[in-house]
Amino acid sequence: MKDHSGSDLARKNAAVKACELVEDGMAVGLGTGSTTAYAIRELGRRVDEGLDIVGVPTSYASEALAIECNIPLSTLAECPELDIDIDGADQVDSSLNVIKGGGAAHTKEKIVSCSSKMFAVVIDGNKLKDVLNRGVPIEVLPYARRLVEKKIAGLGGKCTVRTGSGKDGPTISDNGNFIMDCDFGVINKPAALAEALAQIPGLVEHGIFTNADFVYVGYEDRVERLERKK
């Protein structure tokens, strides 16, 4: 479910540039994925130099990396409003609608991004498209799988249960649920689809994010910053 055709340098450039938004005293959401990992390492480097922040991770993976990088951690229970969230994405359209969840972490990622005053997305240039057309990841209570499949079909989509996370059978999220990928073809109205997905019982969270404030698009020789039109 990942597109890693963009270069490591492009991803790193985007992540490091977005970290310039982070200042002393901030509570920072720590997203998940290979691009965000560059941001976590950069924040760790700056913490070593004296930057005073707390991080709130969105997955076991980002928590482990933040610990390795000596970033002091907090939780949404202790710190319900974050200053900024930095996270990756699988695809971004020209209106800055985003598909996330390639790493199966989109439920916590959405909670953290919606708890943040500013949400900065970091991608390489290959992920920027005119229109979204990737499969939309959804997290589903196993009990609700068949109902969710039926409702997604009613919306014109086709679900596949994700497999392959080092075990046989379904990929299980950090929250103990199935991850499914839903093919809707070209998504012309992401906000309307997001709204419809949110109504499905047993669908814990979907990977369409409409709340990015900035998208840092990394290339090997530069970074472009896109800002959502309010």
Ligand X SMILES: O=C(CO)[C@H](O)[C@H](O)COP(=O)(O)O
Q: Helix, strand, coil % (nearest 5) of the chain?
A: 30, 25, 40
29 counts as binding ligand X under rule CB under 6 A: no
102 counts as binding ligand X under rule CB under 6 A: yes
Answer for which of 42, 83, 85, 90 binds ligand X (CB under 6 A) is 90
**Is residue 185 part of an annotated ligand binding site?**
no
Q: Which is nearer to ligand X, 104 or 187 (CB)?
A: 104
103 counts as binding ligand X under rule CB under 6 A: yes
Q: Which is nearer to ligand X, 35 or 97 (CB)?
A: 35
87 counts as binding ligand X under rule CB under 6 A: yes
Pairing relationship of beta strands 27-30 and 84-87 according to DSSP bridges: parallel
- For 52-107, list the strands marked E by DSSP: 54-57, 84-87, 91-92, 98-99
Contact at 8 Å (CB) between 101 and 90?
A: yes
Q: Is 109 a catalytic residue?
A: yes
CA-wise closest residue to 19 among 49, 50, 44: 44
Residues 104-123 that bind ligand X (CB under 6 A): 104-106, 109
**Is residue 33 part of an annotated ligand binding site?**
yes
88 counts as binding ligand X under rule CB under 6 A: yes
Q: What is the DSSP string of 110-153?
A: HHHHHTBS-EEEEEEGGGB-SSB-SPEEEEE-GGGHHHHHHHHH
Q: Which is nearer to ligand X, 90 or 213 (CB)?
A: 90
- Segment near ligand X (CB under 6 A), from 99-107, 138-146, 149-157, 176-184? 99-107
For the annotated binding site, the residues are: 32-35, 87-90, 100-103, 127
Q: Which residues are catalytic?
A: 109
List of residues contacting ligand X (CB under 6 A): 2, 31-36, 87-90, 100-106, 109
